[in-house]
Homo-oligomer: A and B are copies of this chain.
């Protein structure tokens, strides 16, 4: 089905049929105002008839630029990245640029490979949605011949323009809230290989240490894609290690959903006997029974901004490296008690 196929129609084929030179056909496509209307229309019809599709490889090679952006995300199972991706799309949608995604599977190696691939393609711009291998990718980025936007944690030095959020501070706020609600044995459930999750764990641990309530047995993670089922499993595991657990901070809302279901099955009354705090404020958080207390990150906006930065810098303007900080918000709903006092 491959090699033996009919050769594809080229610009030259169209030009010959039109009785003009190749460059004229090329102009019809790129600078139509430079070709006389009648000739232009005739060529346009011919292009349609012959099913001509320009070859991007040749175009990119000759013009030395490309009009697709590459967006790398570490995972497709986490909804958080989907919201992020939608933000990028929204901004890029009615520009002349196209988007292509790739998945790095939370792997530094894969991230490097994908960045190399994008660079190989002379991509117009790259968004690194979740930076896994900071050091190792930085080298590549410095050599990149296109704008690169990184989404990172506050306080991280980046080689490129960055959109930064403070995961550690967000986790601190959530943990403090659980303490303020009077919970004392607060577990943390998460996904092991997730870099951003690690920062959240740090924030959580810091607060509990200060309160003298820290215990490694409270922390449970699993090295697998996040899921609601994982939330159930991790809760059972945590309760085995520390049966007195009275609240859970989940590194994402999918886990929190599972925790709620499992807690209900175990007869825990939420929020009276048992508090739950999620992370990301996904769509279902508001409609759960009870609605989920969670941390909201401006995921869509982060994506939108990333797309915007890319478009602006790809426009040809030189842009200096900058870092855009975006905040978080703790959304207090009904899976946590009202704070005491």
Contacts and interface: CB of A to CB of B under 8 A. Distances in A.
A270 B68 CA distance: 49
A82 B76 contact: yes
Contacts of A55: 61, 120, 122
Interface string A108-142: 00000110110111100000000000000001100
Contacts of A77: 82, 86
A60 interface: yes
Nearest to A8: B145
Contacts of A229: 283-284, 286-287
A77 B58 CA distance: 35
Interface stretch (A203-211, A241-249, A312-320): A312-320
A257 interface: yes
A126 to B, nearest CB: 12
A103 B89 contact: yes
Nearest to A146: B2
A52 to B, nearest CB: 10
Nearest to A113: B98
How many identical subunits does the complex contain? 2
For this complex, into which size category does the number of interface residues on chain A fall? 35 or more
A95 to B, nearest CB: 13
A298 to B, nearest CB: 18
A315 to B, nearest CB: 8
Contact of A313 (B1, B145, B284): B1
B102 A318 contact: no
Nearest to A7: B145
A54 interface: yes
A30 interface: no
B86 A76 contact: yes
Nearest to A143: B51
A100 interface: yes
A121 B56 contact: yes
Nearest to A230: B283
A202 interface: no
6 contacts: A55-B120, A56-B57, A59-B120, A89-B105, A98-B113, A262-B287
Interface of A: 1-6, 8, 51, 53-61, 65-66, 68, 70, 76-77, 82, 85-86, 89, 98-103, 105, 113-114, 116-117, 119-122, 139-140, 143, 145-147, 227-229, 231-232, 254, 257-258, 261-262, 264-265, 283-284, 286-289, 313-314, 316, 318-320
